[in-house]
Amino acid sequence: MNTEETHCMKNFCFCEVTMSKHIIDDAKRCLQCKNPHCRQGCPIQSPIRDAIALLLDNKLEDAGRLLFANNPLSLVCSHICHQENQCEGHCVLGQKGMPVFISAIEKYISDFYLNIYRPVPSTGESGKVAIIGSGPAGITIAFFLAQKNYSVTIFEGHDQIGGVLRYGIPEFRLPKTVIDRLAETLRKSGVKIRPNTTIGANLSVDDLFRDGFHAIFMGTGVWRPNRLNIRGESLGHVHYAIDYLKNPEVYRLGKTLIVIGAGNVAVDVARTAVRHGCRDVQLFCHLDESGVTARQSEIEYAKIDGITLTLRQTPVEITDEGVVFADSDLYTDEEGRVHARPIPGTEHLEPADSVIVAISQGPRSVIVSSTTGIDVKASGLVAVDNCGHTTREGIFAGGDVVTGAKTVVEAVLVSRRVADSIDAYVREKTRGGIAEKNSTSLS
């Protein structure tokens, strides 16, 4: 080992020891509440208290197994969950001081476990299930069904799996290596992954049923950007957030950027642009503080990055020189929702080299438009019952394509229920098939 390698190894060990000591010290602050509020604050009821107890009892592998069994995306959630409103936000220590930093503890445990986890490959004896889309919902269902010995194939339209985790969340918030490790773990579980395959284009769901799949899960997400529908939106320096985040390296935005929107995606875009050379980045929101849906911590980070946020500005036109805004007149509709309309005579130009529109996304209709029997709501989202059944037998759906853009942990919560529903459906279907076959052979 040369001098440089030795130096790097010493630094690595020092960082690891320092982080471990921080994790252990914070874990010791946990009160091990009889009625843990942290678990109640978690949408998927993560067994945080019990995992911390196992960690302190030198049973790190058991702690990781506990978290992974409840949530295969535990490591992902430790990076990007809104802990301040969920587990950490409900920690009793936070009522008068600092809560236990559960996100850091979960990250340490889950990262360790994913390194040593050796899944038992699925035998495939339970049946064949196709999963269309490999975002949070698709990955979660693939893990759960593989554990139930299903032959699972993931069909992914991009070249790598992850969906919004890979193509919609910046590297500085969620390292791509985390998703790579999940992909490898899926393969070791016996899951087949078919990249660069869009169902509804060359292949249809009818082809999948023809080829022996007993059930199909649609987890295609929301990749169609919502439009402003104002003059100038087709100009060459105007882009959409979800497209930009897929591959920011190919964009040449100039030095001055306006981002229209104030949600988490808008902040992700703004912070990414700063890291790719934009010196003056501004966020504009048409509402007041009520319209800022991004996490407060992300807003604070954006300010540290030098990004400004301007409220109550409604875009009315995009020009080659920038965006024409008008002051917003806010009003409330009969259902209590706040809206904005431009105040005539207040129009003014905000100069910018480029503009990125970040006002949420909707679902693309590739599968629905090429398939009969799948109903959608007025919003274009797929209609399902509480168990994820669509209106066509054998096809299930979940995640953002059903709910609209939601958090990862919410997708995991729904996916656990849908996985059980798929399992029950296939078991009933295969039993019926066997009974029908036996009846035919007896006659």
Q: Tens of pLDDT along 318-370?
A: 999 999 999 999 999 888 889 999 999 999 999 999 999 999 888 776 677 77
Distance CA 186, CA 121 (A): 9
End-to-end CA distance of the chain: 76
Compute CA distances 163 → 149, 249, 287, 382, whole Å: 24, 18, 30, 18
Angle of helix 102-116 relative to helix 176-188, nearest 10 degrees, comes to 40
Compute CA distances 17 → 104, 119, 140, 330, whole Å: 14, 28, 32, 53
Among candidate residues 185, 168, 191, the one with its CA nearest the CA of residue 75 = 185
Spatial neighbors of 118 by CB under 8 A, at least 6 apart, are: 188
Amino acid 399: pLDDT: 87
How many residues make up the chain in this entry? 443
- Angle among Cα 138, 411, 240 to the nearest 5 degrees reads 85
Bin 306: left if φ > 0, else alpha if -120 < ψ < 50, else beta: left
Distance CA 25, CA 28 (A): 5
In the chain, what are the domains? 3-116 (1.10.1060.10), 128-223+363-439 (3.50.50.60), 226-361 (3.50.50.60)
Distance CA 355, CA 2 (A): 49
pTM score: 0.88
Distance CA 208, CA 130 (A): 8
Across the range 130-148, mean pLDDT stands at: 96
SS3 at position 256: strand
pLDDT in tens, 276-307: 999 999 999 999 998 899 999 999 999 999 99
